[in-house]
Amino acid sequence: MTKGKDAKPHIGIFGRRNNGKSSIINALAGQEVAIVSETPGTTTDPVKKSIEIPGIGASVLVDTAGIDDTGDLGNKRIARTRAIIKTIDLAILVITNNMFGGYEKNLIDEFKSFDIPFFIIHNKSDLEPLSEIAHEKITATEPYTIIDFSTLQPSALPEVIKTLQRLVPESAYKTKSMLGELLAPNDIVLLVTPIDTAAPEGRMILPQMQAVRDILDNYAVAILLRESQLAHYLKRAKPQPTLAITDSQAFGMVSKIIPRSIPLTSFSIMLAHHKGDFGNYLKGTPKIGDLKDGDRVLILESCTHHVSCDDIGRVKIPSWMRKQTGKNLDFDIVAGLDNLPRDIHNYALVVQCGGCMITRKQIASRLQPAVEAGIPVTNYGMAIAWLHGIYERSVAPFLKIYKA
What pLDDT is recorded for position 107? Answer: 96
Q: Within a 10 A sphere around the Cβ of 36, how many other Cβ atoms?
A: 16
SS3 category, 238? coil
Q: What are phi and psi of 15, to 5 degrees?
A: 155, -175
Angle at 87 between CA 335 and CA 102, to 5 degrees: 120
Per-residue pLDDT tens digits for 270-312: 999 988 899 999 999 999 999 999 999 999 997 655 455 568 8
Per-residue pLDDT tens digits for 160-207: 999 999 999 877 666 788 999 999 999 999 999 987 655 566 677 888
**Which helix (H) or strand (E) segment is 15 a member of?**
strand 10-15
C-alpha span between 377 and 127 (Å, rounded): 51
SS3 category, 72? helix
User: Are 357 and 206 a contacting pair, CB within 8 Å?
Assistant: yes
Percent of the chain with pLDDT strictly greater than 70: 89
What pLDDT is recorded for position 304? Answer: 56
Long-range CB pairs of 334-338 (<8 Å, 24+ gap) are 334/298, 334/299, 334/300, 334/301, 335/301, 335/303, 335/304, 336/1, 336/2, 336/301, 336/302, 336/303, 336/304, 337/1, 337/2, 337/83, 337/86, 337/87, 337/302, 337/362, 337/366
DSSP 130-146: PPHHHHHHHTSSS---E
Give the lowest-confidence range in 39-48, 126-135, 142-151, 380-389.
Answer: 39-48
316 pLDDT exceeds 70? yes
What pLDDT is recorded for position 43? Answer: 47
Fold exhibited by the domain 277-387: Rossmann fold (3.40.50)
Q: Which whole number is the average pLDDT over 338-347?
A: 91
Q: Within a 10 A sphere around the Cβ of 114, how many other Cβ atoms?
A: 15
Q: Sign of dihedral through CA atoms 65, 69, 73, 77? A: positive
Please check whether the two domains, 10-172 and 277-387, share a CATH topology.
yes
What pLDDT is recorded for position 45? Answer: 53
Q: Which amino acid is at 403?
A: K
Per the document, the length of the chain is 404
- Reported as a pLDDT band with limits 50, 70 and 90, residue 360 is confident
Q: Which amino acid is at 357?
A: M
What pLDDT is recorded for position 24? Answer: 92
What pLDDT is recorded for position 5? Answer: 38
User: Are 377 and 277 a contacting pair, CB within 8 Å?
Assistant: yes
Angle at 330 between CA 324 and CA 335, to 5 degrees: 105
C-alpha span between 44 and 336 (Å, rounded): 21
391 pLDDT exceeds 80? yes
C-alpha span between 179 and 162 (Å, rounded): 33
Q: Which whole number is the average pLDDT over 258-272?
A: 93
41 pLDDT exceeds 70? no
Helices (H), 178-336: 206-217, 230-236, 251-257, 267-275, 278-284, 317-325
* Residue (of 267, 283, 244) closest to 402 by Cα position: 283
C-alpha span between 337 and 114 (Å, rounded): 15
SS3 category, 188? strand
Fold exhibited by the domain 10-172: Rossmann fold (3.40.50)
Per-residue pLDDT tens digits for 101-113: 999 999 999 999 9
Domain boundaries defined on the chain = 10-172, 180-271+396-400, 277-387
End-to-end CA distance of the chain: 35
C-alpha span between 91 and 13 (Å, rounded): 6
37 pLDDT exceeds 50? no
- Reported as a pLDDT band with limits 50, 70 and 90, residue 14 is very high
Question: What secondary structure letter does DSSP report for 303?
Answer: S
SS3 category, 10? strand
What pLDDT is recorded for position 335? Answer: 86
- What average pLDDT does the chain have? 87
Q: Which amino acid is at 210?
A: Q
Strand partners, 15: 94
User: Are 2 and 79 a contacting pair, CB within 8 Å?
Assistant: no
| Class of the domain covering 180-271+396-400 | alpha beta
Q: Which amino acid is at 75?
A: N
371 pLDDT exceeds 90? yes
